[in-house]
Amino acid sequence: MDNNKDNNINTDTKQQESIEASQSEGNSKKKPEISDANAPKDSVRTKGGAGHKSKADKSSGKAKKPGKGGTKLKVVQKYPQKSHKSKKSAPKTINVSKRAIIAAAFVILVGAILFISRNSVVKIGEKQVMFSQEYTMNSKADFRVCGDNIYYVSKDGMILLNKKGETVWTDTFTMTSPVMLRDGEFCAVADNKSKTVNVYDLTGKLYSVTAGGDITTLAVNPIGCCAVVCKADDDYKIDVYSEAGEQMFEGSYAAKDGIPLAIDISDDGKLLAVSLVSINEINMRSNVLFYYTTKTEAKNTESSDGMISAINCNEDMAGVIRFLPDNSCIVATDKKIMNIGKKNSDPYLQNWEIPYTNYVTAMDIVDNKYIALAYGEPISAGDEAKPVNSVYWYNLKGKEVGKAQCDERITGISSSLESSIIYMGKNFKAFTVGGRELWSYTALQNVESIQFYNTQDTIVLATATKMNLLDVKKGAEMEEEVSPDIVDIADKEDNNSNESGDKTEKEDTKETTEAVTDNSQNKDTTEKNGEITT
Residue ranges of the domains in the chain? 2-81, 85-119
Helix (H, G, I), strand (E, B) or coil at 398: coil
Q: How far is CA 317 from the centre of its chain?
A: 29
d(CA 163, CA 469): 9
Helix (H, G, I), strand (E, B) or coil at 163: coil
Residue 378 backbone dihedrals phi, psi, to 5 degrees: -65, 145
pTM summary value? 0.71
d(CA 285, CA 272): 20
pLDDT of residue 54: 43
3-state secondary structure labels for all residues of 38-58? HCCCCCCCCCCCCCCCCHHHH
pLDDT(353) > 60: yes
d(CA 435, CA 481): 28
Question: What stretches of 356-410 adopt beta strand conformation (E)?
Answer: 358-366, 370-378, 390-395, 400-405
d(CA 17, CA 22): 9
* Lowest-pLDDT range of 133-142, 410-419, 498-507: 498-507
pLDDT of residue 344: 65
Q: What pLDDT, in 10s, does the model give residues 418-461?
A: 999 999 999 999 999 999 999 999 999 899 999 999 999 999 99
User: Which range, 39-53, 172-186, 466-480, is most confident?
Assistant: 172-186
Q: For the CA atoms of the chain, what is the radius of gyration?
A: 40
pLDDT of residue 327: 93
Q: At what angle do helices 70-78 and 2-23 cross, to 10 degrees?
A: 120
d(CA 263, CA 218): 7
pLDDT of residue 340: 95
Q: What is the mean pLDDT of residues 54-63?
A: 42
C-alpha dihedral (39, 40, 41, 45), degrees to nearest 10 = -50
Burial class (CB in 10 A: 0-12, 13-18, 19+), 79: middle
Q: What is the mean pLDDT of residues 9-17?
A: 45
* Lowest-pLDDT range of 162-166, 204-208, 279-283, 401-405: 279-283
Residues with Cβ within 8 Å of residue 442, at least 6 apart in sequence: 426, 427, 428, 478, 479, 480
d(CA 529, CA 533): 13
CB 402 within 8 A of CB 393: yes
CB 165 within 8 A of CB 469: yes
d(CA 366, CA 419): 7
Distances (CA, A) of 284 to 94, 331, 459: 81, 18, 42
**Mean per-residue pLDDT over the chain, rounded:** 78
Tell me the percentage of the chain whose pLDDT exceeds 70. 67
Between vectors from CA 455 to CA 449 and to CA 459, what angle results, nearest 5°? 25
d(CA 320, CA 262): 6
Q: What pLDDT, in 10s, does the model give residues 274-322?
A: 999 988 767 788 899 999 998 878 777 777 788 989 999 988 999 999 9
